[in-house]
Structure 1
Amino acid sequence: MQAPGNPAGPTRRAAEAGASRTTESAHRASLKPRHLTMIALGGIIGASLFVGSGSVIRSVGPAALLSYAIGGALVVLVMRMLGEMSTNRPVVGSFMEYARDGLGNWAGFTIGWLYWYFWVGVVAFEAVVVGRIFHEWFPAVPDWTFALAGMLVFTVTNLMSLRSFGETEFWLASIKVTTIVVFLGVGALYVFGVIPGSTGSVAHLTDHGFMPHGWTAVFNGVAVVIFSYFGTEIVTMAAAESDQPARAVARSTNTVVWRILLFYVGSVAILLMVVPWDQIPAKASPFAFAFGRFGLPGAEQVMNAVVLTAALSVLNSGLYSGSRMLFALARHGYAPRWVEDRNGAGVPWKAILLSTVVGYGAIAANYAAPKDVFDFIMNSAGCVALFVYAFVALTQWRLRNRMSAQERAGLALKMWLHPWLNAVVLAAVGLIVVLMALDPDAAPQVWLSLGALALLLVVYPFVRRRASGRMAAQAAEGSGSVAAAEATAEAAPAHDGEWSPSPARPL
């Protein structure tokens, strides 16, 4: 319920309802349940699992299972909080919109731009990875050619329509999911001696010590693996552009537990039982190494193709996530107004193109100073996942507390043990940041990310002043219209009192 004395609340909801009806008739949601299912399943599987898990295992030992389980538990809690808010109010801006409502405009502005910057950096990184993989297969062709081609293909895919993004992600995610399922099935047969010549054993978990480097290594491992899970939140943004957003979010939130247990904890457990942990390669794909143990021919090349698929999938979903967040920022005046422009298919084409600029620039810069460029891009956004988790925990805590008893009873999906588990998430995030700051290899990520956060907080007052002026001008031009009501609401503080769910604002 809106607090007395804040007239922006009813006006804003009326404006949003009108905007919702208008945009819905012009641009119908076109992501189907099968698209969202695969986005949810595939969003949690990336190259960091197929390749990066080997480095985690070598640095932690078999206790890497605990690192993945603890990190996974943190993600489950965050997704539950996000699920509660998203089922109540599905919206493209997702946690940026909720942070704005719950904590204030500054929070929405800050986390929205950090999230956009993170994904455009990832898109740039994955484009270069795609180029390098293709270059290994076709060494006569420069890798920048393939990187550029990959960027162009997925830029066009995202520009064509929402459905083309969904279809592309559906098939890319299907390959990743199928690979993991096959690995789990064949790996289990190998471990239990069904496959002839098997040397796998459950005893490999303890033969060389389960926790050879102690608890410190386990928690340091959590700081590394937590970023492997980033991407699970994409489904809450994509669901807002589906036929049944609340249902899609509830389903993906309820299944995130078994997805983490199966795809991450399960596959790492099989790896450790197939190969002793101190024999798993730290830099090459441990999955390719394990498939080789199964006696499957061409395992390394097959896994290279799967890693390529994972990189393409992240490139595709990264462009989607970055462009939608930028679009949401523009709707509040936190990005240039022209970013809101859509093409005939209802796609925010200027937001997509702007989100590719860093990628194209990185492809060029990669050959001038490859290490310096990518170290800066990835390190300066290295803690964004943790910042997002902290903002989600704080936002859900505050929004729930503002609800009436009747509103709480009407929630379709509720966070467990509120607010105690919120406090657990915040404490865990703080611990991980401290551990990263104490690690010489990870410390640059902490300080550069904090620097980016501080810069946004300094810039925000100037952006807000400009946005308020723009919205006031819009209100003057369209007095009495829905656009004017929305402009007046946007110029006002997000919420000064209790929060009441606003209708979704479809793209």
Structure 2
Amino acid sequence: MSFDKIKAREQGLQRKLTAGQMSMIAIGGAIGTGLFLGSKFAIGFAGPSVILSYAIGGFITLLLMGCLAEMTVAHSTSGSFGAYAEHYISPLAGFLVRYAYWAAIVLAVGTEITAVAEYMQFWFKGVPSWFWIVLFSGLLIGINAMSVKAFGTLEYWFSTVKIFAIVGFIIMGAYVIWGEGNPNYGGHNYTANGGFMPNGVWGMWVAVVISIFSYLSVEMIAVAAGEAKDPEAAVKQAFRATIVRLLVFYILSLAIILAIVPWTRIGEGHSPFVTVMEVLNIPYAAGILNFVVVVAALSAMNSQLYITTRMMFSLARGGDAPKALGKLNSNGIPMNALLLSTVGIALATAIYVLFPEQAFTTMIALSMFGAIFTWLMIFLTHYFFRRYHDRNGGLSLSFKMKFFPASTLLGLFLMTAILLTTAFTETFRMTLVFGIPFIILLVCCFYVLKKKRSGL
């Protein structure tokens, strides 16, 4: 099957997203709970060396975005890396990538709304968490049901709030550390309480797993390209802007946090950002930053609902999910796919009610397999993509991944190592316990569907 046929079956979505909105969609997904809450758990593993953990995760993200941007410039469609895997590797590969990614992001939606429920306890300790889950879920589902333009506009402003807040946090933190000259704050906190790597290289490496979860959703740019006004220009602009912002925001934010608050105290509070404000005792600052953290989680959840809806739409249009999930309403929204993609919210609500202390880490562990598997497959798909076009005279593209094949193979190796690492950590053991049977089930489903289609 030619790629044009794959692209043609996904027609009908409205191309209304601008390059600026696409950049913010990627930022919206990637600067969320992973940074504002997940970093707390990463610091618990790595101590101050979490800065290295997030730098390694950022490097892998840079490699991934390069591969993805090149393929997206060549083929912009909402099926994105699922469609690329189908065309350049095999239909089975495309099937597995789409469903694994859909499951990962659906579960990630659950982590965001779980985090929102936790953040709201800062102000409303007596209000049950399920109330906030139901309230905010309903609001965001309504926004996503309106139109892609409404979604893009909301995400743009959500992400703008986050960016201004993080920039403000970095500037204020830098002033407190170096401007005031307070002896309690500074680089000496990086080596206090057990040293820079209190849990050794292993602790630093395990935190890379959480960093990947934190950066997860940057790949949304490729999916959103299917609804962009000028996909080629938008992808290139969004790629460059997203990478720079993510690396600066993550690395500098963590460096500020660890210079102000000893890493052993980070786990005591809700978000490390709020903990910093409480330590500095700035009036109302903790409450303001908690508001930003809530916005960040809602922003990420908003992006994730969008992306899961489009991935299920792609599966349905390819005949790998019920046809009803590929239908568009009058606003160009796959409503049935959107409603199905809220299953992660229901699961998160159940886990939060039953196991409130373990809810967030459990949802991360379940989501992690699909995320790591998808990133691994993007690197593998890019390798097949370039080999195919190099054998057939090459592609004249305005964006090409540098240092191929070394860069692509390095990314593939690192993601494989991260996936294997989850088997040796208690926190993420559920990743493979859930993931391996899930992949086996998907393979069986693929061949059952194949037999059904052939009429056997």
Compute the TM-score of the two structures, normalised by the length of structure 1.
0.83
Q: Distance in 2 between matches of 1:360 and 1:224?
A: 23
Code of the residue aligned with 1:439 in structure 2: it is T
Q: Distance in 2 between matches of 1:464 and 1:302?
A: 54
Code of the residue aligned with 1:117 in structure 2: it is A
Residue number in structure 2 paired with 1:62: 48
Q: Does 1:464 align with 2:450?
A: yes
Residue number in structure 2 paired with 1:491: none
Code of the residue aligned with 1:320 in structure 2: it is Y
Code of the residue aligned with 1:306 in structure 2: it is V
Q: Say which of 46, 53, 60 aligns to 1:74.
A: 60
- 1:366 Cα deviation after fit: 4.6
Whether the aligned pair in 1 keeps the contact of 2:86 and 2:92 (CA below 8 Å) is yes
**5+ residue gaps, structure 1:** 1-7, 471-507
Which stretch shows the higher mean deviation, 446-455 or 88-97? Answer: 446-455
- 1:213 Cα deviation after fit: 2.5
Secondary structure of the structure 2 residue equivalent to 1:333: coil
- 1:361 Cα deviation after fit: 5.6
Q: Distance in 1 between matches of 2:338 and 2:23?
A: 23
Q: Does 1:173 align with 2:159?
A: yes
Change (3 A) 1:443 1:292: same
Code of the residue aligned with 2:295 in structure 1: it is T
Residue number in structure 2 paired with 1:355: 341
- 1:141 Cα deviation after fit: 4.3
Residue number in structure 2 paired with 1:393: 379
Q: What does residue range 399-414 of structure 1 map to in structure 2 within 5 Å? A: 399-404=385-390, 408=394, 410-414=396-400
Code of the residue aligned with 2:433 in structure 1: it is W
Query: For 1:394-443, what per-residue CA distance to the aligned partner results, in whole angstroms no more than 9, with x for missing partners?
Result: 10101111114786351221112111122211221222222221122322
Residue number in structure 2 paired with 1:201: 186
Change (3 A) 1:455 1:353: same
Q: Which has the larger Rg? A: 1
Residue number in structure 2 paired with 1:38: 24
Q: Does 1:242 align with 2:240?
A: no
Query: For 1:342-363, what per-residue CA distance to the aligned partner results, in whole angstroms no more than 9, with x for missing partners?
Result: 1111111111111124424653
Q: Does 1:342 align with 2:334?
A: no
Q: What does residue range 122-161 of structure 1 map to in structure 2 within 5 Å? A: 122-134=108-120, 137-139=123-125, 141-161=127-147
Residue number in structure 2 paired with 1:258: 244
- 1:284 Cα deviation after fit: 2.6
Q: What does residue range 93-108 of structure 1 map to in structure 2 within 5 Å? A: 93-108=79-94
Residue number in structure 2 paired with 1:498: none
- 1:94 Cα deviation after fit: 1.2
Q: Does 1:308 align with 2:263?
A: no
Q: Does 1:320 align with 2:320?
A: no
Q: Distance in 1 between matches of 2:268 and 2:419?
A: 24
Code of the residue aligned with 1:80 in structure 2: it is G
Code of the residue aligned with 2:39 in structure 1: it is S
Q: Distance in 2 between matches of 1:62 and 1:294?
A: 19
- 1:131 Cα deviation after fit: 3.7
- 1:16 Cα deviation after fit: 6.2
Residue number in structure 1 paired with 2:369: 383
Code of the residue aligned with 1:41 in structure 2: it is I
Which stretch shows the higher mean deviation, 368-377 or 197-206? Answer: 368-377
Change (3 A) 1:134 1:400: same
Whether the aligned pair in 1 keeps the contact of 2:114 and 2:359 (CA below 8 Å) is no
Change (3 A) 1:448 1:361: closer
Q: Distance in 2 between matches of 1:173 and 1:214?
A: 35
Residue number in structure 1 paired with 2:440: 454
Q: Distance in 2 between matches of 1:437 and 1:360?
A: 27
Change (3 A) 1:406 1:259: farther
Q: Distance in 2 between matches of 1:374 and 1:200?
A: 30
Q: Distance in 1 between matches of 2:365 and 2:197?
A: 29
**5+ residue gaps, structure 2:** none
Which stretch shows the higher mean deviation, 54-63 or 194-203? Answer: 194-203
Q: Say which of 254, 270, 294 aligns to 1:268.
A: 254
Code of the residue aligned with 2:420 in structure 1: it is V
Whether the aligned pair in 2 keeps the contact of 1:127 and 1:148 (CA below 8 Å) is no
Change (3 A) 1:198 1:408: farther
Q: Distance in 1 between matches of 2:44 and 2:355?
A: 30
Q: What does residue range 112-127 of structure 1 map to in structure 2 within 5 Å? A: 112-127=98-113
Q: What does residue range 15-54 of structure 1 map to in structure 2 within 5 Å? A: 15=5, 23=12, 28-54=14-40
Whether the aligned pair in 2 keeps the contact of 1:200 and 1:273 (CA below 8 Å) is yes
- 1:107 Cα deviation after fit: 0.7
Residue number in structure 2 paired with 1:162: 148
Code of the residue aligned with 1:343 in structure 2: it is N
Code of the residue aligned with 2:397 in structure 1: it is L
Residue number in structure 2 paired with 1:214: 200
Query: For 1:448-484, what per-residue CA distance to the aligned partner results, in whole angstroms no more than 9, with x for missing partners?
Result: 11221111112211122334569xxxxxxxxxxxxxx
Q: Distance in 1 between matches of 2:106 and 2:279?
A: 37
Whether the aligned pair in 2 keeps the contact of 1:333 and 1:467 (CA below 8 Å) is no
Code of the residue aligned with 2:35 in structure 1: it is L
Q: Distance in 2 between matches of 1:369 and 1:203?
A: 38
Code of the residue aligned with 1:291 in structure 2: it is M
Alignment size in residue pairs: 455
Q: Say which of 61, 76, 91 aligns to 1:90.
A: 76
Secondary structure of the structure 2 residue equivalent to 1:448: helix
Which stretch shows the higher mean deviation, 326-335 or 385-394? Answer: 385-394
Change (3 A) 1:379 1:205: closer
Q: What does residue range 364-383 of structure 1 map to in structure 2 within 5 Å? A: 366-367=352-353, 378-383=364-369
Whether the aligned pair in 2 keeps the contact of 1:190 and 1:198 (CA below 8 Å) is no
Q: Distance in 2 between matches of 1:391 and 1:316?
A: 25
- 1:88 Cα deviation after fit: 1.0
Q: Distance in 1 between matches of 2:52 and 2:208?
A: 8
Code of the residue aligned with 1:299 in structure 2: it is A
Whether the aligned pair in 1 keeps the contact of 2:389 and 2:395 (CA below 8 Å) is no
